[in-house]
Amino acid sequence: MENACDAVCRDVDVLLESAIDQLELDPLDVDYARNQLMELLDIRQFSSSRALDRTGEMDVSSALVALVGDALEAGLVPEDDVASFADRVLNVLSPSPALVTAYFEQIEREDSSIDAMNWLYDLCAANGSVHRKQLETNPHFESHGLVVTINTAKPEFKNMKKAAAGNAGAGGYPQCVICHENEGFAGAGGAGKRTLRTIPVELGGKDWFWQFSPYGYFYQHGICVNAQHTPMKVDKETMGNLLDFVDRFPGYFIGCNAALARIGGSILAHDHYQGGGQLLPMHTARVLRAYRVDGYEDVTLEVLDWPGSAVRVVSRLRSEVLEVSELLRAAWAVYENDAFHIHPYDESGARQSSLSPSVIVTDRGYEMSLIFRNNAVSDEYPDGIFHAHPQYYPVKQEPIGLIEAQGLFILPGRLVGQLAVLEEALVRGDDTVSQEIAEFAPQWEELVETLEERDRDTVRAAIREELGSVCYRILENTSVFPTKEDLENFVRSVEGIEVEKL
């Protein structure tokens, strides 16, 4: 009968073979890696299992789970150290950052940049820095022209000041959670970022880097980060950088948050963009009005049929996309309209208006989407006039950033349990909402009004439709212009842009 230590040795060899297949572990490094793992396990003897019959290929994650389980049983790993131990094991087996870059650039040269991104994503999923399996199990559905997900891996930040504080490094090392110095950083405890791997990217002649997000809001979701710890901004250089990115990675989209509190994400201290290998709903939104822009050879300006205030600038000529987009950005930055509660600066002089730009490459050329954002507050809406209204807070209270503004909602993991309670109450035929889910009273009332049957499948479908409806209305809350005609009037008022309806 196999004892616990023999089982650990067997697990190590299986893990090493899996790492050769999935983590680019060179067979010449197997003995070296085994010795490193023996040191982590604090074992001095090793009974090799290479001659044992294999029952089949095992992925790295499964092999690691087996190793951790047997190491716990053998008393080689304390229960409170499992996350750190697993991270250290995977770091031993993962290629170094320099090797990752070399492999990436070789694949890019020999195949394509997107093939290289696919390789990097698979590597990061195998070494645990991307939680792909959790992403695949998150609730995910389409409703009201939007994609709605419930992300069980991502923490919920209702208080954005607290979130920003949590993402800051207080001048320490690293300075913030997305600085390049996080690559391989053990941290104060837990899993750390030992297995984080990045690749260098040049944007606008400056050094940036790409990394995949551990939270994975969508397929191959990642961030492109300035190599220097410098604050976020949105200007002409920003949009030029986005165009540089899609020139190198034409199968990706890339965009930038509005770089303002409450509407621009939680990490404003470090300039970065978000993108990935999946188009978001706004990228394919229907065009409400299309204009030709006089003075430009090949530019179409489109007002989108979208709940937020958004336009799309399309051209095969990169320079013209950039010029027209910058004219719109500059005009919006100073636009003021008392009737719409739009003021470019608050009473202290801080900027309130900005854009969320996002670009893709299609058969039509470059398509630069521009979402007009404003973070003004009022007595009625202290969290933001153009923020989700309070009746929707049970579903979504966090700021609406770039990804959600483009139609992919990331709802908090707590909803899994709360919606299960809501579903059971409706299936039972309850007449009133219980105290346990009292905050969902507005959604309850809408569901009760529309539900004719209360069998489980019907109720579950209705809840999803209600979530989609709430998300759509939240995007309407973020719209800075009350109507599309008001948005068109703004576009026509921009100095330097003369439009003719197509």
pLDDT at 257 over 50: yes
What was the pLDDT predicted at 51? 43
pLDDT at 453 over 70: yes
What tokens does 476 get? 């309407």
- DSSP letters spanning 27-60: GGGHHHHHHHHHHHHT-S-----TTSPP-S---H
Q: What angle do CA 446, 452, 457 make, to 5 degrees?
A: 90
What was the pLDDT predicted at 1? 41
Alpha helices by DSSP H, 401-455 = 402-405, 415-428, 441-450
Q: What would the pLDDT profile of 358-382 be if each residue is shown by its tens digit?
A: 999 999 999 999 999 999 999 999 9
Residue 203 included in any domain: yes
Identify the weakest region by mean pLDDT among 117-121, 191-195, 286-290: 191-195
Residue 133 included in any domain: no
Residue 115 included in any domain: no
Average pLDDT over residues 468-485: 98
Identify the weakest region by mean pLDDT among 49-53, 225-229, 276-280, 438-442: 49-53
Q: What percent of the chain has pLDDT over 90?
A: 85
Identify the weakest region by mean pLDDT among 96-105, 160-169, 407-416: 160-169
Residue 446 included in any domain: yes
Q: Edge to edge, what strands does the sheet with 140-143 contain?
A: 140-143, 146-151, 408-412
What was the pLDDT predicted at 266? 73
Q: Do residue 307 and residue 442 come from a single domain?
A: no
Identify the weakest region by mean pLDDT among 3-12, 93-102, 175-184, 376-385: 3-12
Q: Do residue 275 and residue 359 come from a single domain?
A: yes
Q: Do residue 335 and residue 426 come from a single domain?
A: no
Q: Do residue 462 and residue 364 come from a single domain?
A: no
Average pLDDT over residues 5-30: 94
pLDDT at 31 over 90: yes
Q: Do residue 279 and residue 298 come from a single domain?
A: yes
Q: What would the pLDDT profile of 122-139 be if each residue is shown by its tens digit?
A: 999 999 999 888 778 889
Judge contact between 313 and 494, C-beta under 8 A.
no
Residue 73 included in any domain: yes
One-letter amino acid at 248 equals R
Average pLDDT over residues 408-416: 95
Q: Of 134-138, 217-221, 223-227, which has the strongest mean pLDDT?
A: 223-227
What tokens does 475 get? 């995007």
Q: How do beta strands 300-304 and 365-374 pair?
A: unpaired
Q: Do residue 395 and residue 338 come from a single domain?
A: no
Residue 128 included in any domain: no
Q: Do residue 291 and residue 439 come from a single domain?
A: no
Residue 301 included in any domain: yes
- The span from the CA of 51 to the CA of 448, in Å, is 64
Q: Do residue 296 and residue 358 come from a single domain?
A: yes
What was the pLDDT predicted at 170? 52
Q: Examine residue 139 and say whether the peptide bond preceding it is cis (omega within 30 degrees of 0).
A: no
What was the pLDDT predicted at 311? 98
Expressed as residue numbers, the domain containing 470 is 138-150+390-399+412-478
pLDDT band, residue 110 (cuts 50/70/90): very high
What was the pLDDT predicted at 395? 96
Q: Round to the nearest angstrom and report the end-to-end CA distance of the chain.
A: 79
Average pLDDT over residues 397-412: 95
Residue 406 included in any domain: no
Q: Do residue 167 and residue 309 come from a single domain?
A: yes
What was the pLDDT predicted at 30? 95
What tokens does 273 get? 């963009």
Q: Do residue 250 and residue 316 come from a single domain?
A: yes
Domains: count for the chain:
3
Q: Do residue 17 and residue 162 come from a single domain?
A: no
Average pLDDT over residues 210-215: 92
What was the pLDDT predicted at 187? 83
Q: Do residue 279 and residue 374 come from a single domain?
A: yes
